Structure formats: structure tokens, C-alpha cells
A and B are shown apart, each in its own frame.
Chain A
Amino acid sequence: MLSIDNLHAQVEGKGILNGINLDIKPGEVHAIMGPNGSGKSTLSSVIAGHEDYKVTKGSLLYQGADISDLSADERAHLGIFLSFQYPVEIPGVTVTNFIKTAINETRKGQGLEEMPANVMLKKIKEKAKLLSIDTQFLSRSLNEGFSGGEKKRNEIFQMAMLEPKLAILDETDSGLDIDAMRIVANGVNSLRNENNAILVITHYQRLLDYIVPDFVHVLHEGKIVKSGGKELALELEEKGYDWIKHAI
């Protein structure tokens, strides 16, 4: 599904990614771990298509096609979703109307008709329930005054609505207490199937107790320095990132 080969990227002339290799197949869950400043968030922004990040070398293939020239919305139309570490507050636009706009603009981008209002409403209700979101929440302004947990639940709610093929969860566990993390993780797990893939980006291992990865990669100075199964996350948690730094 996603095939990254020797990817180099920079922002404002500064090299952040220095040769990433990553291959994600449908049905898989990959986790990228790494210390602060290792390039985790840059990688998610590059895959999602942030304009400020320039691919300088290597290739970024999605479903076999080079997507490095596509804008973020065009990538979204192909099924790539990025859950933000810090979701943006947009006063004046309600959660419901935002998701309606996102769904219909995505469908427009895919050459489909708008989703009928009753279908939309039913889907919103169903997915809100999945993430324990009440109806009052849906009529609030997007992310405005939301707690950390509410913001992240709202991100996963949007993911559930948009049904992406590749979902990137950037530091979804940050700012979450254990109950909120459980709700978010359950939401993500219920969306997993053999046709989609998830890339979890996290600093800590704890989220991976709930969203269990098939592969774990360690990022250091813009490169994947170690890959393994889910046990690698535990090892990292135990030994700390210094262990990786010394090991290479």
C-alpha cells in the first residue's frame, strides 16, 4: 500500500529525513517510535502532503503510484488520513458541519455524488457512539475549548467517518488519560480490517498495549535504525532511547 524508498526530505532547507525505507501492506499496523526531534512528525507530514516539506531524494509510492506531487487534499481523496498531534481549533464551524463538508468534498474529489443527508446523519450517529461522543458535542465548534481527550476522540471520529485506507496516527496518545486512551484505541481497533493499514507514531510504548502493531520501527536522526515485532517496543520502553543511540 505504502512504499517508501530512501526518502530524504527537508523543511526550510534543513534536512530532517535522511533515507527512510518503509513498506506497509494492507491489513498491517506499523508503529514508528523515536525520541523527540528524530523526525517522526516530519514523516507523517511528508506522507500526508504538507507543502512546506520538500522531498529531495528517494520515492514515495502509494498503491503503486508516486504521490509526492499531490496536494494534501488529493492524497486524502486517495484514502490517506492524518490524525494530528495538535488538532487545530476552528471557532465558528461545528463538528457536524465540518465532517459533512469533509465527507462531501472528499466524495467530490473522488467523482462521487454528495452523501444523502439521512445516510450522513445515520453514519454520524453510529460513529459517534463508537467513540462515546454525545450529540451535544457534535454541535460545538471544532476543537474549540476541547480537552485533550475530546480532541483525540474527535480525530478518530473523523477517521471513522472518512474510512481511510491508510491512517497515520501522530502522537494520538499524548494528552490522554487511561480511560480516554482506551476509548480511542477501541475506536481505532474496530476500524481495522484487511484492506486498510495504520501507521502509529508515538514516543511511548503504552498506546501499543492497546493498538497492537505488527511491526515496530525506531527512528533516529531521520533514519529507521531498527525494526522488529511488537516486542521491540517493550524493549525500548525498558532500556530507553539511549540504548538505540549506543547500539548504532
Chain B
Amino acid sequence: MDLQEKLVASYMAQTSATAEPTGLAKIRSAAIETFEQQGFPTKKMEEWKYTPLNKLVKTDYTVFPKKSKNLTLDEVQNYILHDVDTFKIVFVDGVYSSFLSETTHEGMDVCLLSAALSQPKFRKVIEQYFDTVTDLEDSFTALNTAFGREGAFVHIPKKKRVEKPIQVIHFSTGVNQNLMLQPRNLIVVEAQSEVQIIERHQSLTDTPVLTNVVTEIFTHKGAQVDYYKIQNDHENASLVDSTYIHQEKHSHAKVHTFSFGGQFIRNNLHFYHKDQAIQSTMKGITLVEGKQLVDHHTLVHHAHPNSESHQEYKGIYDGQSTGVFNGKIVVEQEAQKTNAFQQNNNILMSDKATINTKPQLEIFADDVRCSHGCTIGQLDETALFYLQTRGIAKKEAQALLTYAFANNVLASVNIPAVKTRINALIAKKLGVNLGFNL
């Protein structure tokens, strides 16, 4: 039985064991049908041309973990930000850990999706939002919709500035079995409210883990969402991360993606504009080596006038690593005065590293400003020599230049603790002991 068949069979087993409201059950059965018909994407599909899935779909993953390990604070300490007060929604092998979490229902809901899905008081919100902004044709998303029962549920009422960032962390322990996780996050931010969220998926074992996460974010009128994805997983871990953002008038959604670890990462980041005067910002640093693969697929759908989108992705590829950047910008005929900016700069540190970068602009309006640029290069030899003449050894000099290359993406990080953590991760990844609080 291949993975696709196994997943479909697992779905049947799961549905018969759990009862859900009819609306939800319908959404799930439609989703598994989509997945069953489409299967996993193949390299023949334009969107997956440079991102082979053969190895992943040949791995025997199970969606039902036998037994989760009890984690101590010491084991997970490193992956949780401590130097800042935060809400925490933590899962271990897909199961909520109340021990590691700090949630709230005071004036807002920062809690579990499973609670929201099962409790009547949340039914209206779930009906209004769940699976309403996703790409229904995307088979990974459909698979998640079929299975996804747990994740973060964040609902911020109107005119509320959430003082503490929210950390959403999914740990996997995969004791003696290859695990496939399907976390599902739902974030609803009502008008004029602000929230900061940090998301992380972390495997604590050598056993292969495949995480297929879907996050839906709704930013209402004038709302601001500042979202950080820290992707620094174990070398046997793979991640397919699909994020769908619905934006209303005057809203600003920002997503920073830091991709350092993991064997395979595919990011699908979609912004849909539902009104005018919207800002969408997406930034990323990719720093990989060995046989790692990181794929960023972004989509900004400008459907109304006077909106802006800013994309800036920096990639540093060493060893035999592979990078993919595909930035799609759609500007509908109605979306006059759109200002869309896209930049993708890459450095190849070795002859065997590869980057496939493609801007994809579909513009149907005539009065717009759309600019895009991509570069592929090496570290500047003269700059390296310059640093060396100042006593900085080659490895450190390379690290410093790499850091300098990526630095302006960090400038827009608004949580100092996140910035410090990213700096430390970059230094660690580059194998140097330089304090990058430059």
C-alpha cells in the first residue's frame, strides 16, 4: 500500500471513530475526496517542477502515533523563547500539552483548535472561517483539511492590542515510527486589533517526520498580524507549510520565514486582498547546506485598488542544497494603483548548490507599479580579502558577509527576542562564534 492509499484508509478509520458536526464532516469528506483523486503532486506539475516528492511519498508514515513520550522541560527548553513573556500553545505528537502551554480566554481566545471545533460556543466562528480561505484544489491542504483536528485557535476581538506574542510550537517525538502530523491553525483578528505570532515545528528524534501544516489567518479592517516562522528542524524532518491569509481594508499582514533546518521544506504563502488599501509583507532568510531543499512559493492576489505588497527573500545555499523561489503576483483589472515589489537575492556557496528562482507576474490593470528582481551570485572575493586583512579568519569573514547579506530582512523583525534567536541560529548554522548583534 502506498502512502496515498494508506492515508485514505486511515481517514476512514478515523472518521468512524469520531463524531463531528455535519458541516465539518462534509468539509472533511470533500477534502479527502480531492486528495484521493489528485494524489500527491508530481514533478510534471509546474508548481512542483523543482521540488521532488518521491522520497517523501515512499516513506511509510503513520498518522496515528502509538505513544507519545513524556517530555521534560529540559528537553524542549531550547526551542521555546523564554526571554520574553508569551502565550504558548504547545503540542507533542499532535496532542496538546497543558504542562508546556499558557493559554487564555480572558478577553480573547488563545487556545486549541480541537476545543473550538467541539464546543458549541465556537460553532459560529468555525462555520464562518474554517477552510474558507484555503485553496480547495491543493492536495496537501486537502489532506490536512481531512485530518487536521488540532492546532492553535486564536481569536482576537475588535480593538485589542495583544501585549504578549503567542508561540505556537508543535513537537514530535516519533518513538520508533515515522510520523506524519497534520496541524491546523486558525487565526482570526477582528478590526483594529494587533497580534504577534511565532510558529515552530520541532522534531526531537532521528525518526523521519513529515509535517503538513495549514494555517488560515483572517485580518479584518485595520488589523495587524505580525507572523514569524522559525524553521530549524531536525535533518530527518520534512515540512509542507501552507498559509492562507485573508485581508480586509487597511489591514497589514507580515510574515517572516526563517528556513535553516530540516531535510525538505515547502512553503506556500498566499495573501488574498478582499478590499482596498491593504499591505502585505513577506520576508525570508534561507540558509541551508548538505542535501537540504527549501521551496518558497508565494502568491499575492491584488483584487482591489491602492494596495501594496512587499517581498524580500534572501537565500544562501551551500553543499548540494537546492532552493526554489516562485513569487506569483496577480493584479486584477480592478486593482489600479497597486504597488507590488518583489526581490529574491541568492548566494551559492558551492558549485553543487542550486537555486531555481522565478518571478511570475500576471497583471491585468494598467496603472500599477510592479517591480521584481532576482540575483544569484557568490560572496565577494575582494570583501573577503578585506576582512581577512583585518585579522578576521576566512570562515568568520564568510559568516560576516553572509550575515550582512541577510541582515536587512532582520531589520523588520519587531520582537527583539526573535531577532536575538535568529542571530544565534545563523551563527550556529555558519559554525562561527561571532556575536551577530551587529
The proximity string for B residues 383-414 relative to A, scoring 1 for CB distances below 8 Å and 0 otherwise, is 10111111111101100110111111000000
Question: Which are the 3 A-B pairs with shortest beta-carbon distances?
Answer: A92-B407, A106-B391, A72-B388
Query: Does B438 lie at the interface of the complex (its beta carbon under 8 Å from any beta carbon of A)?
Result: yes
Flag if B400 contacts A73 (CB, 8 Å).
Answer: no
The proximity string for B residues 171-197 relative to A, scoring 1 for CB distances below 8 Å and 0 otherwise, is 000000000000000000000000000
Within 8 A of A (CB), among B413-438: 434, 437-438
Query: Does A127 lie at the interface of the complex (its beta carbon under 8 Å from any beta carbon of B)?
Result: no
Flag if A88 contacts B391 (CB, 8 Å).
Answer: no
Query: Does A28 lie at the interface of the complex (its beta carbon under 8 Å from any beta carbon of B)?
Result: no
Flag if A88 contacts B393 (CB, 8 Å).
Answer: no
CB distance from B255 to the nearest CB of A (A): 21
User: Contact check: which of A49, A81, A82, A109 meets B393 at CB < 8 Å?
Assistant: A109
Chain B residues with CB under 8 Å of A81's CB are: 389-390
Q: In the bound complex, how far is the Cα of B388 from the Cα of A82, in angstroms?
A: 10
Chain B residues with CB under 8 Å of A102's CB are: 387, 390-392
Within 8 A of B (CB), among A90-141: 90-94, 97-98, 101-103, 105-106, 109
Which residue on A lies nearest to B390, using beta carbons?
A102
Chain B residues with CB under 8 Å of A94's CB are: 438
Flag if B391 contacts A71 (CB, 8 Å).
Answer: no
User: Contact check: which of A45, A73, A80, A91 meets B404 at CB < 8 Å?
Assistant: A91
Chain B residues with CB under 8 Å of A103's CB are: 391
Query: Does B72 lie at the interface of the complex (its beta carbon under 8 Å from any beta carbon of A)?
Result: no
Flag if B392 contacts A71 (CB, 8 Å).
Answer: no
- Answer whether A90 and B393 are a contact pair too, CB < 8 Å, given A50-B385, A71-B388, A76-B388: no
Residues of A within 8 A of B (CB): 45, 48-52, 71-73, 75-77, 80-82, 84, 87-88, 90-94, 97-98, 101-103, 105-106, 109, 158, 162
User: Contact check: which of A77, A82, A92, A162 meets B438 at CB < 8 Å?
Assistant: A92
Chain B residues with CB under 8 Å of A109's CB are: 391, 393
User: Contact check: which of A88, A97, A106 meets B386 at CB < 8 Å?
Assistant: A88
Q: In the bound complex, how far is the Cα of B388 from the Cα of A45, in angstroms?
A: 12
Flag if A93 contacts B403 (CB, 8 Å).
Answer: yes
Which residue on B lies nearest to A75, using beta carbons?
B389
Q: How large is the interface on B (under 10, 10 to 19, 20 to 34, 35 or more residues)?
A: 20 to 34
Query: Does B37 lie at the interface of the complex (its beta carbon under 8 Å from any beta carbon of A)?
Result: no
Q: In the bound complex, how far is the Cα of B316 from the Cα of A188, in angstroms?
A: 39
Which residue on A lies nearest to B388, using beta carbons?
A72
User: Contact check: which of B385, B390, B401, B406 meets A51 at CB < 8 Å?
Assistant: B385
Q: A71-B393, A73-B391, A76-B390 are in contact. List 4 more A-B contacts (CB 8 A).
A: A91-B404, A91-B408, A93-B404, A101-B400
CB distance from A92 to the nearest CB of B (A): 3
User: Contact check: which of A50, A71, A91, A162 meets B390 at CB < 8 Å?
Assistant: A162
Flag if A84 contacts B393 (CB, 8 Å).
Answer: no
Flag if A87 contacts B391 (CB, 8 Å).
Answer: no
- Answer whether A101 and B408 are a contact pair too, CB < 8 Å, given A88-B382, A88-B383, A93-B400: no
The proximity string for B residues 96-118 relative to A, scoring 1 for CB distances below 8 Å and 0 otherwise, is 00000000000000000000000
Chain B residues with CB under 8 Å of A73's CB are: 388-389, 391-394, 397
Flag if A93 contacts B390 (CB, 8 Å).
Answer: no
Q: In the bound complex, how far is the Cα of B390 from the Cα of A77, in angstroms?
A: 8
